[in-house]
Amino acid sequence: MGWKNIYRRRLRVFTVALVIYLDYKAVQRRARWVSRGKEDALWEKTHERNARRLLNLIIELEGLWVKMGQYLSTRADVLPEAYICLLKQLQDSLPPRPLWEVRQTIVEELGKSVDELFSSFFEQPLATASIAQVHRATLKNGEEVVVKVQHDGIKEIILEDLKNAKAIVDWIAWAEPQYDFSPMIDEWCKEAPKELDFNHEAENTRKVSRNLGCRSGNDGTSLDHSVDVLIPEVIQSSEKVLVLQYMDGIRLNDTQSLEAYGVDKQKLVEEITRAYAHQIYVDGFFNGDPHPGNFLVSKEPPHRPVLLDFGLTKSLSSSMKQALAKMFLACAEGNHVGLLSAFAEMGLRLRLDMPDQAMEVSTLFFRNSTPAKDALENVKSLNDQREKNMKIIQEKMNLNQKQVKRFNPVDAFPGDAIIFTRMLNLLRGLSSTMNVRIVYLDIMRPFAEAALLGNLHNAPIMGKSWICDSPIHSDVEEKLRQFIVRIGSDKILGLQVCAYKDGKVIIDTAAGVLGRYDPRPVQPDSLFPVFSVTKGITAGLIHWLVDKDKLKLDETVARIWPEFGANGKDLIKVHHVLNHSSGLHNAMGDVIKSNPFLLCDWDHSLRHIASCTPETEPGSQQLYHYLSFGWLCGGIIEHASGKSFKEVLEEAIVHPLNIEGELYVGIPPGVEPRLATLALDIDELQKFSAIQSRPEVPDSIQQSNVSEMASSVPALFNTLNMRRAVIPAANGHCSARALARYYAALAAGGSIPPPHSSLSKPPLGSHPHFPKFPSFKLKPKSRKCSIKAANIRGNLFGSRRDTNDYNLISNISIKDVSTDTNRHMFHNSNIHDAFMGSGDFTTMVLPNGKFGLGFRRFNSNGTENMKTFGHSGMGGSTGFCNVEHDFAIAVTLNKMSVGGVTRSIIQLVCSELNIPLPDEFSAQGEKGPDMQLNLQQS
């Protein structure tokens, strides 16, 4: 191109960019001093003036700038009307290149002259675009074709334009940090050169045509996932010439012809949208350049869209395709957990935890399109939302006005997602240009579901690959895995089983997938919601504080927690709470009915518990405290220790057992990618109604529609608010290996087992317990500021400063704890009697009750054993241990059912190890309150 031309183009680009920038900055200042009516006129003239400058520059330079102009001309949803009106000229055609240049390129590329190849060749091009121009022609065999010929020297121009565009974007990012489009231009620099090879475009055209079933008329999928579009057939190609089948169609900007032919524009754009949804979510291979110039409409009914120009295409990996589908469905359902998990899977990293704002911004990508006339209102709405989000960031990060302008909440943005969002924006612009409203969430949803459910259905569910590829620890684990494969996906969605025998791991198996819309395989470190299994964890904290002399089982709760003594609760003792005999079994029932999300408010729930009135005399009846148990114990724990529930959980259980990152009551930010998603076994839902009249079931459940309640549980507990809440009766998230290790320690009287099996990957305890987001580095003005920032960070992750002068565990490192097998969580030699409510603790429990002091007492063969205890959760998860056999087991699952899977697994393992089967898991034995909801009906 010559260095003179290079520097001339560079000078023109930067001069115009600077003039436009300074013009807008000047008008921005002037607008502050004029009335509202004059301000609108002032901005309108400014937009028209600068749009004209931009158009003149693009026409002068051509090359890549034409593409940019075409893109901007489609953004009628967000750009001022002046830009749309002027830049839409670029969609029609640019001045053509001379015919001799076209003929010469054809000879050089195809080895024959125009006259040798074609019986006729139209000298006037159909269209001239940024990279090539298209001529109509007829082959010697009479077939009508179009010939796409690349402009001579365009490659050098495009590459130079990319450098200039990159420099401008970097400059804007420096001058206005909140408008940093560097990731977008970087991805464009990587993808744009591919458009310069027409062999590449030819193969892309063939591939998209095959994927969409354009030759066969269908794509082999259900009607919900089929599309009805046309794509021209490739006849011949070289690097700079492409010969395609001619298709007679109407341009999208030819409004008169569209009306004359009776084209339904709404239906047309919907079909285009479906075609792109298919490309993204089903095929993982899509055209990233859907501007109006790349479409025609067939003149024959049903007026199908014709898709053109596949130079800029993007291929998605299976994991990226799934992540994009998961992001879409998360936005459609308002699923914050799914959204944050999708971000992590696609490599999008944020610098701070703002799930609500992340959902708002992501949902913008899939919002309903708006006609061009609503562009101004749309822009104002987007700006208002952006300012609101930046204000929230400023408050969270404690930034001043200057700092917040330079803060970018996105730490990393993947290139695949950039082309994806560009494509969505172009589609939105297309619908705005056509003045139609498109409901993207409805149109694209079947394809996103197909991307995830298709992977689930096509997975080798009946083979060993359905089970996590980890070494087998024992013969019983080998038999268990064979059994799990036989059950298959009819009863199992995702599952973990871990068991300890004599302090050693004998089973550590993970199988299935993380969720109905999450086909990623379950791993040993995946986190499952386990509902009332959490009660066994919470009870362990009470016993741990008693062991540390910070609490006594026979003291009144009101002495520890003064507010609790109101309304006749002054006689309730700690052991009444643990034994489910405090009389407060329905204390949270009215909250569930009025607003379940109030359960997420820890302080509100504690105040509510403290103000309740007992329904029965303390110690008179054992009635299952299905939800109130958590806040009763939680209030006791916090008031006795002076620390938060989470802090005591870490000090008492997580750190000593070295299970960091795999046992939570209320998840912290950052673990979403490891979360299993709850689903319900619909086929067994009707069996829930059988439990409604049983006396063991709380009154508030007996009076409700059990089937309706069970159906709502997964949706409620899949929400981010519920998962992050501290609900010590029902909100534990853990892996089976962490839960089994806990019960292995309890079975041994609190003696910490040897390190977990090295065969289990990643190693247990390798996750940080409070994942941190990348920090935005600012120099603190003083030590005082630094302390304040540290306190803010602490509040972000739910911790609080400890003002006590004692430490609940010894000052030893995590490594020391995990490797020293002589260390104990408890020092009471009668701790098992305390758990079970036996021996010296018999007077603290009701005779023949299902519960000891916080743990379910499991009988065997219908007789009292007093050697087996634990706790199950609604839906099937469980954890328990047998002291006599030094055995502990945990089962976690995400497909909530009536417990058949869990029962079968426990039966198999106990039979193989010759361990007495707890009645809880036998076919005929008496079930505990939680397993009432899991009872397998014959």
Dmax over CA atoms of the chain, in Å, equals 106
Tokens encoding 158: 């495009």
Predicted TM-score of the model (pTM): 0.77
d(CA 202, CA 241): 10
CATH topology of domain 99-154+192-215+224-288+296-315: Transferase(Phosphotransferase); domain 1 (1.10.510)
Locate the domains of the chain by residue range.
3-92+155-191, 99-154+192-215+224-288+296-315, 320-457, 475-692+712-769+822-921
- Looking at residue 372, what is its pLDDT? 61
Q: Please list, in sequence order, all residues whose beta carbon lies within 8 angstroms of the beta carbon of residue 318, skipping any fewer than 6 positions away.
A: 284, 455
Give the Cβ contact number of residue 14 at 10 Å.
14
pLDDT in tens, 342-373: 998 998 888 778 888 888 878 877 877 766 66
- Looking at residue 180, what is its pLDDT? 64
247-251: long-range contacts (C-beta < 8 A, 24 or more apart)? Answer: 247/296, 247/298, 247/306, 248/298, 248/299, 249/296, 249/297, 249/298, 249/299, 249/306, 250/296, 250/297, 250/299, 251/92, 251/292, 251/293, 251/296
Residues of the chain with pLDDT under 50: 216-222, 457-463, 700, 703, 771, 774-821, 932-938
- Looking at residue 123, what is its pLDDT? 93
Is 475-692+712-769+822-921 a domain of CATH 3.40.710.10?
Answer: yes
Do 99-154+192-215+224-288+296-315 and 475-692+712-769+822-921 come out as alike in CATH topology?
Answer: no
CA distances from 174 to 168, 183, 411 (A): 10, 14, 17
The DSSP secondary-structure symbol of 300 reads S
- Looking at residue 710, what is its pLDDT? 62
Q: Which residues are catalytic?
A: 289
**What are the φ and ψ backbone dihedral angles of 602, each rounded to 5 degrees?**
-60, -50
- Looking at residue 790, what is its pLDDT? 35
